Amino acid sequence: MDIDYDRGIVLRDEQRKLLLDPTHQSDIGIVTHGHLDHLVKDAYMTPHTLDILGVRLGERRGKPVPYGEKVSVGGFDDITLLPAGHVFGSAMIRVDGVLYTGDFNTSGGLTCGKAEAQKCETLIMETTYGKRKYRLPPKEQVEEDLRIWTETQMDEGPVVFGGYEFGKAQEIIAILNSMGEKPYVPEKIARICDIYGNHDVDLKYLTGEPQGDYTAVVTPGELKKPLSGLARRARKERGNIAYLSGWCAFYPFFRTMDIDAQFPLSDHAGFDELMDFVRACAPERVLTVHGSAVEFCQAVRDELGIDAQPLKK
């Protein structure tokens, strides 16, 4: 089987052709998750991702494949989607001896399960945090810090969190729900949250004008200087505002955002988790896409002695 990159990851031999995360509409494609840089219509995807596609692209067009069920696409008969732990509905793809992780996280999340290593011959993986310096703190530690900070700040006024509208926002809502808090969210986030309930991920949130003491979860755009939406309102009420992203572990966002705190809540695996994942999958070769693809391959060759090449630099 040949593997290369051409507007998506292409798996093919003489008779068969399959596209993983194609960048164009395709009926022989498989989409791993509902972030906008991955979503295309007509492809195969988990039922969760198909519902997300319906809301984000305005038309629910594609073929649902539940986790763990075998499906045939493009002449390949032995394809299975497995939880990737990145966002709600995100999937790794196993086909013959190949495992493609898509965006993934072995620490997982409250709203999406977690990625488990699978023995394979060829491991195709994303390497967003593929440089040695991209080491993330343990997720439980970040969540604990976040809870403590929230409890302290709530004594002073409203508390607002900013995170990407699909995936991160819902993780924050789940963390706040675990503290007994029901945050306010803008319509854009609520429309996505509504889908989670249809797949047994119960999120509690409110829309409309905040009343009394409150918490809120907004998009990162509302935190940019000058503040807008619920973040602007909370600031006028002496509220506190935090931004959440894995990149917060490495870069300060205080210059561009009007925030009081930032927390490295990531939906990707950090460098250490990426290396652990390769070890556990024990592949004969590694192919990388996205982020620090070249640097990570160097680390895999040096530290694990496994053949590793970037598929897409």
Q: Does residue 168 bind Zn ion (CB under 5 A)? A: no
**First-residue to last-residue Cα distance in the chain:** 21
Whose Cβ is closer to Zn ion: residue 192's or residue 216's?
192
Contact region with Zn ion (CB under 5 A), list: 19-27, 49-57, 97-105, 176-184? 97-105
Q: How far is the CB of 273 from Zn ion (least distance, A)?
A: 16
Burial class (CB in 10 A: 0-12, 13-18, 19+), 248: buried
Asked if 81 and 92 touch (Cβ cutoff 8 Å), the reply is yes
For residues 150 and 154, what is the distance between their CA atoms, to the nearest angstrom?
6
Whose Cβ is closer to Zn ion: residue 112's or residue 241's?
112
Q: How far is the CB of 199 from Zn ion (least distance, A)?
A: 18
CA-closest candidate to residue 37, choices 76, 112, 90: 90
Residues 24-63 as x/- pattern, contact with Zn ion by CB under 5 A: -----------x----------------------------
Interface residue with Zn ion among 103, 126, 165, 295 (CB under 5 A) is: 103
Whose Cβ is closer to Zn ion: residue 35's or residue 41's?
35
Number of neighbours of residue 26 by Cβ within 10 angstroms: 20
Residues 128-167 as x/- pattern, contact with Zn ion by CB under 5 A: ----------------------------------------
Would you call the peptide bond into 226 cis, given omega within 30 degrees of 0 as the criterion?
yes
Asked if 35 and 27 touch (Cβ cutoff 8 Å), the reply is no
Q: How far is the CB of 39 from Zn ion (least distance, A)?
A: 10
Whose Cβ is closer to Zn ion: residue 103's or residue 222's?
103
Whose Cβ is closer to Zn ion: residue 9's or residue 160's?
9
Q: At what angle do helices 168-178 and 139-154 cross, to 10 degrees?
A: 60
Q: How far is the CB of 64 from Zn ion (least distance, A)?
A: 19
Q: How far is the CB of 81 from Zn ion (least distance, A)?
A: 15
Q: How far is the CB of 165 from Zn ion (least distance, A)?
A: 12
CA-closest candidate to residue 109, choices 169, 171, 47, 52: 171
Whose Cβ is closer to Zn ion: residue 103's or residue 165's?
103
DSSP assignment of 102-167: -S--SS-BTTTB-------SEEEEEETT-STT-PPPPHHHHHHHHHHHHHHHHTTS-EEEE--TTT
Cα separations (Å) of 88 from 6, 74, 104, 224, 287?
A: 27, 26, 11, 26, 25
Q: How far is the CB of 128 from Zn ion (least distance, A)?
A: 8
Q: How many residues bind Zn ion (CB under 5 A)?
A: 2
Q: Where does this chain bind Zn ion (CB under 5 A)?
A: 35, 103
